[in-house]
Amino acid sequence: GENVEQHPSTLSVQEGDSAVIKCTYSDSASNYFPWYKQELGKGPQLIIDIRSNVGEKKDQRIAVTLNKTAKHFSLHITETQPEDSAVYFCAAKRDTGFQKLVFGTGTRLLVSP
Amino acid sequence: DGGITQSPKYLFRKEGQNVTLSCEQNLNHDAMYWYRQDPGQGLRLIYYSQIVNDFQKGDIAEGYSVSREKKESFPLTVTSAQKNPTAFYLCACSTSGSSYEQYFGPGTRLTVT
């Protein structure tokens, strides 16, 4: 089955710096890759996703890149702000029939003012 | 958390007691999911349901049970057979079995002593 590895487990940056979180997946048939943000005591919320027919997607300060050959995808946050502090999860799934989302183990991002 | 609710937010039980966690959604989504979240382990799938009156085991179903009698509701029972029930439990829903975004509830933190 699918396995998703996520690194780093914790990431500390200064406000205004960029942050990059990386994930690798094992199932070459996976073609949907979402990123979720979870604030303390709350449920995760989707912030951006990418499908395998594109290599990069951007939404304001966040972007996701996908390298299908290497089976890895990354989340990039530019101009970080204290409110970006949260736990971020990557996930992967096939987009055929009913396939479950497989999540990475999460990255705790701390943005210091 | 948009249209999916979980109650209560905190739940305390004595060891050996069954406990039921509530999950309700008004998004008219067909599929619903239960995840367990432990520190450093990401989200693990307990049970999922694609349609009313149907559900399947996820990766860690032992010691848990569910029902799906109504489209809007997917309660999870943590039985006394679950060896380590203390955790943060998240419910989610999505539009259909092969759809993409999963919408998460705010979670229930269960503590069993």
- pLDDT truncated to tens, each residue of chain B (113 aa)? 459 999 999 999 999 999 999 999 999 999 999 999 998 778 999 999 999 999 999 999 999 999 999 999 999 999 998 999 999 999 999 886 555 788 999 999 999 99
> Confidence class of residue A99 from pLDDT cuts 50, 70 and 90?
confident
Show residues of chain B in contact with A100, CB under 8 Å. 45, 48, 58
Shortest CA distance to A66 belongs to which of A28, A15, A100, A99? A28
CB contact under 8 A, A105 and B41: yes
For residue A98, is pLDDT > 80? no
Q: Does B66 touch chain A (CB under 8 A)?
A: no
CB contact under 8 A, A49 and B100: yes
Which pLDDT belongs to residue A53? 81
CB contact under 8 A, A46 and B50: no
Q: Does B8 touch chain A (CB under 8 A)?
A: no
Query: Phi, psi at residue B2, to the nearest 5°?
Result: 25, 75
Residues 6+ apart with CB under 8 A from A60: none
Amino acid occupying residue B36: R
Shortest CA distance to A8 belongs to which of A82, A109, A113? A109
Q: Which of B27, B29, B41, B43 to mutate to test the interface with A (most CBs of A within 10 A)?
A: B43
Distance from CA of B48 to the nearest CA of A (A): 9
Q: How far is CA B24 from CA B33, B73, B108, in A?
A: 11, 5, 13
Which pLDDT belongs to residue B72? 96
Which pLDDT belongs to residue B1? 47
CB contact under 8 A, B40 and A9: yes
Show residues of chain B in contact with A43, CB under 8 Å. 1, 6, 90, 92, 104-107
Which pLDDT belongs to residue A104? 94
Give chain A's mean pLDDT. Answer: 93
- Say which DSSP state A84 is in: G
| Mode of pairing for the β-strands spanning B76-78 and A32-38 | unpaired
- Say which DSSP state B3 is in: T
Point out which residues pair with B21 in neighbouring strands: B76
Asked whether A5 and A106 are in contact (CB, 8 A), the reply is no
Question: Using CA atoms, how far apart are residues B61 and B30, in angstroms rounded to an integer?
Answer: 20
Q: Does A113 touch chain B (CB under 8 A)?
A: no
Q: Does B106 touch chain A (CB under 8 A)?
A: yes
Asked whether A23 and A36 are in contact (CB, 8 A), the reply is no
| Mode of pairing for the β-strands spanning B31-37 and A10-14 | unpaired
Lowest mean pLDDT among A15-24, A75-84, B2-11: B2-11
For residue A41, is pLDDT > 70? yes
Lookup: tokens for B102: 């999963």
What sign does the CA torsion over A72, B106, B55, B62 have?
positive
Please state, as a whole number, how many other Cβ atoms lie within 10 Å of the Cβ of residue A13. Answer: 17
> Residue B101: which of A41, A46, A96 has the nearest Cβ?
A46
Question: Using CA atoms, how far apart are residues B83 and B98, in angstroms rounded to an integer?
Answer: 32
Shortest CA distance to B36 belongs to which of B4, B5, B1, B61? B61
Asked whether B108 and B11 are in contact (CB, 8 A), the reply is yes
Size of interface A-B (CB pairs under 8 A): 55
